[in-house]
Amino acid sequence: MEINNLRWLDQLSSKFFNFLPNLIGALVVIWLGFKVVGIINKALGKFFEEKDFDPSLEAFLASLVSILLKTIILISAASMIGIETTSLVAILGAAGLAVGLALQGSMSNIAGGVLLLLFKMVRIGDYIEVNGTDGTVRKIEILNTTLTTPDNKTVIIPNDQIVTNIVTNYSKQNQRRVDVNIGISYESDLKKAKKILLRLMVKHKHALNEPSEPTVFVVELADSAVLLSGRVWVVKENYWQTKTDLLEQVKLAYDKAGIVIPYPQQDVHLFQEKK
């Protein structure tokens, strides 16, 4: 019995000492590999800083590269100690596929977030409109983008909705055109109305003469009004103030000049049925 135990211990120690170099080699590979991954992450961080990448995208890409490299290192170390890596890779691939299918929507949002941050389609502070919702961009994250509406509501939009839909970015250009559309009655003095509207736009403190000077013209002879359109260019930050100022000033000036701004009316005629 003792002889059998000694043989078993001898075999065990022999296997251990035969296995030990592979184990040490695998641990060295893991240690060195993780050190290299740390160096690569630092180099990526410097690269992102030089290219002025968004911090959210920088963190996401750095973590993604780190996970991929560490997975490769661990699989390599496993093969050194005799683990069948083909089966392991197959299991990881199947697990990855299952997770990908389960998180299909999230994966598309992640891809959308990467595209938004990488190509800077929209930036924090931009005023945009997506699917009928408009607001100022406050945060761009990997899964979603957060807007704040003019009445201070928070709207969270999945990133794939921004990437795959039409987005109107009101902040992209430095200048915007203010359109003041107003109708006057057919009995009012058309030339006088145009002159007043043009004067108000030219005199406004935010009015610009580039890319074109303020102008007024007739856009339609409607059923109950002559429709005028005044157009003036302003710096984008002054758009709403200029528009509201001009609408108020036009109303007051037209009232003072006796120019009528009509509103929809309906005449109802009653007939008494003869008996």
The pLDDT tens digits of the residues spanning 213-257 come to 999 999 999 888 999 999 999 999 999 999 999 999 999 999 999
Distance between CA 218 and CA 225 in Å, rounded?
11
**For residue 162, what is the enclosing H or E element?**
helix 159-164
Instruction: Please give the distance of CA 16 from its chain centroid, rounded to a whole number.
Output: 57
One fold for 2-102 and 175-257: no
Band (99; pLDDT cuts 50, 70, 90) = very low
User: What does the domain layout of the chain look like in residue ranges?
Assistant: 2-102, 121-169, 175-257
* Whole-prediction pTM: 0.60
CATH class of 2-102: mainly alpha
pLDDT at 148: 94
pLDDT digits (tens, 9 = 90+) for 2-56: 555 556 555 556 665 565 677 777 788 888 888 888 888 888 777 767 766 666 5
Residue 130: left if φ>0, alpha if ψ -120 to 50, beta else—which one? beta
Cβ–Cβ < 8 Å for 79, 22: no
- CB neighbour class for 120 (10 Å; exposed up to 12, middle 13-18, buried from 19): middle
Distance between CA 87 and CA 221 in Å, rounded?
77
pLDDT at 93: 65
Which tokens is 2 given? 């003792």
Sort strands 144-148 and 154-158 into parallel, antiparallel or unpaired: antiparallel
State the fold for domain 175-257.
Alpha-Beta Plaits (3.30.70)
User: Does the pLDDT of residue 195 top 90, yes or no?
Assistant: yes
Domain 121-169 indexed as CATH 3.30.70.20: no
pLDDT digits (tens, 9 = 90+) for 108-158: 767 777 777 777 788 888 999 998 889 999 888 777 888 999 899 999 988
pLDDT at 263: 77
